[in-house]
Every structure is written in C-alpha cells, then in structure tokens.
Structure 1
C-alpha cells in the first residue's frame, strides 16, 4: 500500500534580525529556519542555531526543509 502525498504549505517571509534582512522559512505557523545573505554568501540557520554554508538561496531553502523533515517524527 502506498501512502497519499500530503500537501504542505511552505512560506518565505522577510524579516530584520540584528539589523540585517533575512528570509524566514515557515511551515504552517512554525519557523523552520532562516536564510541569510552576506556579501553574496548564503547561510541557512536552523531554529536551534545550527548553521550551514550554502551556495545559493535555493540551496539554503532545500537544506532547511531537509533538516526539518529529517528531525520530525
């Protein structure tokens, strides 16, 4: 038996943190993490403070979602 796919709504909201603009990734009302751009270098930051250096904004979103789904359960 296969499971039905669930549709999950992912939202990206802009916010200002420590005087710098960041993009927060939300699933429902839960903040998954944020992606920060500093001088062309992107960092994906989880809510627990763990940071990942990534090459692009899209890769940052992918990393946050992968980590979110990995630790849910």
Structure 2
C-alpha cells in the first residue's frame, strides 16, 4: 500500500515590513516564505533566498507551497 501524505496546516498572516504589507506563510510556527505585491505583480520569497515573480496572488501561493513540498 502507498503511504498517505501527511497533511500540513498553513497560516497566512499580514505583516508590515519596511512600510509595505507582506503576507507571511507559516507551517505551524516555522516561516516558509512571504508574498508581497509590487506594481502589477507579486514577489514570492522563500526562506532559502529564492525569489519568484507571478501575476496573480494564487499563483504565488501555489508556487510557494510547491517549492516547500519539493525541498521539505
């Protein structure tokens, strides 16, 4: 039988950083990355230093979760 994947619970909190609102994503108490709106796009920053640019917030959140699962 295949092993069932563990379910994770993510929390998204809005924080102010350098005068801008940033959505920070946590897995429990551990930060996994952040999403910030800049001009007409969203900047996704992972805790390992990688940065991605997306046009939609949902795309950025999906990219953040995919990279988190890939490197977990």
* TM-score normalised by L of structure 2: 0.90
The residue that corresponds to 1:34 in the other structure is 34
**Cα root mean square deviation, aligned:** 1.1
Deviation at residue 6 of structure 1 after TM alignment:
2.2
Deviation at residue 2 of structure 1 after TM alignment:
1.6
The residue that corresponds to 1:8 in the other structure is 8
For residue 62 of structure 1, give the secondary structure of its aligned residue in structure 2.
helix
Structure 2: segments with no counterpart, 5+ residues:
none
* TM-score normalised by L of structure 1: 0.88
Deviation at residue 25 of structure 1 after TM alignment:
0.7
Deviation at residue 41 of structure 1 after TM alignment:
1.1
The number of residues matched between the two structures is 72
- Once residues 6 and 33 of structure 2 are traced to their aligned partners in structure 1, the CA distance between those partners, rounded to angstroms, is 21
Structure 1: segments with no counterpart, 5+ residues:
none
Deviation at residue 36 of structure 1 after TM alignment:
0.5
